[in-house]
């Protein structure tokens, strides 16, 4: 496990796990949202985004989190391990709702000056609505993608609950051979 990609529906905890794993393994963490979102919630042009992702993942060791399907040609192709946080829809919705409410209240800056906006929560652009409408599609898509020959090099770790994820993370800490240095 030297080049790790973490995927799962928005709100499942990809970034949190990526930070924990990067710290535990002492490797860089790359957050795809930070590479994609520009000030004012504007998206990055596709070619620029691809170049940023490619540059961020040039090293021998890293953990990247994000579901950017359009960039799996870089992330999945370069990864050796793929961790899928495949949590239930009720759990994901409760997490994304709590996270969004907390960010609204605290005015937490996300990427490039962007913050959650109350009007976005109740619009078509709602991250909560996004999680709800993409959960089933993501599960189908991931199952199909894992079967593709171009991704047969990936070690797949499918974690179906936060409890299993915590247990798995603790098991890594107990293994001296996990160190990448």
134: left (phi over 0), alpha (psi -120 to 50) or beta: alpha
Extract the tokens encoding 32. 């795809």
Inter-residue contact 8 to 165 (CB < 8 Å): no
CA neighbor of 29 nearest in space, from 56, 48, 11: 56
Determine the pLDDT at residue 181: 45
How many Cβ atoms from other residues are within 10 Å of residue 167's Cβ?
Answer: 11
Write down the pTM of the prediction: 0.91
**Residue in this structure with the two tokens 């990526």, named with its chain if needed:** 18
Vertex 78, ends 74 and 80: CA angle to 5°? 140
Q: Give the HSE-up count for residue 33: Cα atoms under 13 Å, Cβ half-sphere.
A: 19
Vertex 165, ends 161 and 170: CA angle to 5°? 150
Q: Domain locations in the chain?
A: 3-88+135-175
Determine the pLDDT at residue 11: 92
pLDDT, one tens digit per residue, over 139-148 is 999 999 998 9
Q: Chain-wide mean pLDDT for the chain?
A: 92
Determine the pLDDT at residue 119: 84
Instruction: Answer yes or no: CATH 2.140.10.30 is held by domain 3-88+135-175.
Output: no
pLDDT, one tens digit per residue, over 91-128 is 999 999 999 999 999 999 999 989 998 888 888 888 99
3-state secondary structure the chain: CCEEEEECCCCCCHHHHHHHHHHHHCCCEEEHHHHHEEHHHEECCHHHHHHHHHHHCCCCCEEEECCCHHHHHHHHHHCCEEEEECCCHHHHHHHHHHHHHHHHHHCCCCCCCCCCCHHHHCCCCCHHHHHHHHHHHHHHHHHHHHCCHHHCCCEEEEECCHHHHHHHHHHHHCCHHHCCC
Point out the residues of the chain with pLDDT beneath 70.
Answer: 176-181
Determine the pLDDT at residue 176: 64
Those residues with Cβ within 8 angstroms of residue 111's Cβ, 6 or more apart along the chain or in another chain? 31, 33, 34, 36, 37
Rounded to whole angstroms, the Cα distance separating 17 from 144 reads 24
């Amino acid at each position: 496990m030297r080049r790790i990609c973490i995927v799962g529906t928005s709100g499942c905890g990809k970034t949190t796990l990526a930070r924990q794993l990067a710290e535990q393994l002492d490797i860089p963490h790359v957050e795809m949202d930070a590479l994609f979102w520009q000030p004012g919630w504007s998206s990055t042009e596709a070619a620029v985004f691809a170049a940023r992702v490619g540059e961020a993942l040039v090293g021998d060791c890293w953990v990247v989190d994000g579901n950017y399907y359009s960039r799996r040609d870089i992330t999945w192709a370069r990864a050796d391990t793929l961790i899928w946080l495949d949590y239930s829809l009720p759990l994901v919705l409760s997490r994304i709702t709590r996270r969004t409410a907390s960010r609204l209240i605290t005015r937490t800056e996300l990427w490039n000056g962007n913050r959650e906006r109350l009007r976005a929560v109740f619009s078509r652009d709602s991250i909560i609505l996004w999680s709800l409408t993409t959960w089933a599609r993501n599960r189908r898509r991931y199952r199909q993608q894992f079967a593709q020959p171009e991704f047969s090099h990936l070690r797949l770790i499918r974690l179906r609950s936060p409890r299993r994820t915590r247990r798995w993370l603790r098991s890594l800490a107990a293994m001296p051979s996990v160190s990448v240095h």
